[in-house]
Amino acid sequence: MKLLSIETSCDETAAAILEYENGYLSVLSSVVSSQVALHAAYGGVVPNLAAREHVRNIIPVVEEALQLSKLTPNDIDAIGVTKGPGLIPALLVGVSAAKTLALAWSKPLLDINHLEGHIYANCLSGTKGEAKEANLPFPLLALIVSGGHTQLILMRDHFQYELLGETEDDAAGEAFDKVAKMLGLPYPGGPEVAKRADAFRTKEGNPKAHLFPRPKLTNKDYDFSFSGLKTAVLYFLKEHTEQIADETFVAQVSHEFQEAVVDVLVGKTERAIQEFQPKTVIIAGGVSANKCLRERMTETVAHYEGTIFMMPPFEYSLDNAAMIGAAGILRFAKMSEREREALRSNATTLEPTAHLPLIHPQIIPQ
């Protein structure tokens, strides 16, 4: 079974082709055209500019994905596209392209939640061309950390999502990006802060001055808040304006901020492990590329016998279409013929949704 997937929820135009055979998933091709250079001049993603770039790039990106896979449209069983959450002008381009292809090629069209895609990136192999068993032992605890979302999700089975808690204000990735701006680092800020923090850790041996608070760490719920932490960094920088040009100072602030975020993310996840005793813990979304988070989560989960830790391969941590394909093809594989036929109406009716919640989006009554 083969599926073409399309992702345009933010500033990456992406298409991929996935194959699913005997429980194994392989990425036949994955193309990502990044708009980072375009948006860098504005210090953030400009939705209408993103949409224009998607319009320019979507056909070449889909064509390249097909060429690299050495397949023709006849070989494709279904198409999957990101329905949301994301920027509407950006989502519209991918959804329109996917609807057009689904109509022209007469294929079933699946709408996929972007966050669901980040979760299912954990089923992909990071080795090119390698098939990986799509095995996620349940119950599963997913920490979603992207530019727009920070959520703890409990999954008792495939595609069943229970929201345990989420951020009340900024997402973790958003906080990284805003702190980067305060430090005068280029966009996108998350990886820039992480790079300086990691260099500081390596050089200084991971000292912790606890300059910044760990918001909500000791609260009994699973909600997060990163706005106060960001403001604490702002006030600290205002008190030390004379040092802002000093590279070591910037590296230390980056390190202290990263430690505060990681302490909260890992601490809350650990409490959920104790309460729900999941078989699997995963991280998902752009911040899952963070080395410090990956290391600390690996160490923490190792203390819990019977719980394994999985993380997405680096190349599928940030936005891409292979993760949308992974969620899409596994959904398609589990559907009845009737459910697959019902997907054909999406080619005329599908609409993007900016704030799409991660709950049973595609269950069709028998």
* Site residues, Zn ion (CB under 5 A): 146, 319
Q: Is 209 exposed, middle or buried (0-12, 13-18, 19+ CB in 10 A)?
A: exposed
Name the minimum Å distance from CB 306 to ligand KG4. 29
Q: Which is nearer to ligand KG4, 287 or 347 (CB)?
A: 287
> Which member of 109, 289, 301, 327 binds ligand KG4 (CB under 6 A)?
289
Q: Which is nearer to ligand KG4, 150 or 362 (CB)?
A: 150
Name the minimum Å distance from CB 275 to ligand KG4. 26
> Which member of 84, 94, 117, 190 binds ligand KG4 (CB under 6 A)?
190
Token pair in block for residue 2: 């083969």
Token pair in block for residue 303: 């203390």
> Which member of 152, 318, 350, 356 binds ligand KG4 (CB under 6 A)?
318
Name the minimum Å distance from CB 185 to ligand KG4. 10
| H/E segment holding residue 166 | strand 162-166
CA distances from 100 to 51, 62, 124, 246 (A): 17, 13, 28, 53
Asked if 319 is part of the footprint of ligand KG4 (rule: CB under 6 A), the reply reads yes
- Scan for tokens 């392209």, then name that residue: 97
Asked if 177 is part of the footprint of ligand KG4 (rule: CB under 6 A), the reply reads yes
Asked if 191 is part of the footprint of ligand KG4 (rule: CB under 6 A), the reply reads yes
DSSP output for 251-290: HHHHHHHHHHHHHHHHHHHHHHHHHH--SEEEEESGGGG-
How far from chain centre, in Å, is Cα 173? 10
Where does this chain touch ligand KG4 (CB under 6 A) — which range of 63-71, 262-270, 280-288, 325-333?
280-288
Count of residues making up the chain: 366
Asked if 194 is part of the footprint of ligand KG4 (rule: CB under 6 A), the reply reads yes
Token pair in block for residue 208: 């912790």
Closest CA to 223 of 168, 155, 162, 159: 168
> Which member of 4, 10, 15, 98 binds ligand KG4 (CB under 6 A)?
10
Where does this chain touch ligand KG4 (CB under 6 A) — which range of 105-113, 156-164, 214-222, 281-289?
281-289
Whether the upstream peptide bond of residue 188 has omega within 30° of 0, thus cis, is yes
Name the minimum Å distance from CB 321 to ligand KG4. 12
Q: Which is nearer to ligand KG4, 191 or 215 (CB)?
A: 191
Q: Which is nearer to Zn ion, 45 or 347 (CB)?
A: 45
Q: Residue 254 and residue 271: Cα distance in Å, rounded? A: 26
Q: Which is nearer to ligand KG4, 103 or 234 (CB)?
A: 234
Asked if 147 is part of the footprint of ligand KG4 (rule: CB under 6 A), the reply reads yes
Q: Is 90 exposed, middle or buried (0-12, 13-18, 19+ CB in 10 A)?
A: buried
Asked if 286 is part of the footprint of ligand KG4 (rule: CB under 6 A), the reply reads yes
Name the minimum Å distance from CB 67 to ligand KG4. 25
Q: Residue 195 and residue 14: Cα distance in Å, rounded? A: 25
Order the strands of the 140-145 sheet from edge to edge: 162-166, 150-155, 140-145, 280-284, 308-310
C-alpha torsion 313→314→316→319, nearest 10: 160
Name the minimum Å distance from CB 188 to ligand KG4. 5
Partner in contact with 153, chosen from ligand KG4, Zn ion, none, beta carbon below 5 to 8 Å by kind = none
The residues in 107-146 that bind ligand KG4, with binding defined as CB under 6 A, are 146
CA distances from 35 to 13, 44, 54, 341 (A): 8, 11, 9, 36
Name the minimum Å distance from CB 180 to ligand KG4. 7
Q: Which is nearer to ligand KG4, 188 or 215 (CB)?
A: 188
Partner in contact with 111, chosen from ligand KG4, Zn ion, none, beta carbon below 5 to 8 Å by kind = none
Where does this chain touch ligand KG4 (CB under 6 A) — which range of 31-39, 103-111, 186-194, 234-242?
186-194
Closest CA to 230 of 151, 147, 174: 174
The residues that touch ligand KG4, with contacts defined as CB under 6 A, are 10, 146-148, 173-174, 176-177, 188-191, 194, 285-287, 289-290, 318-319
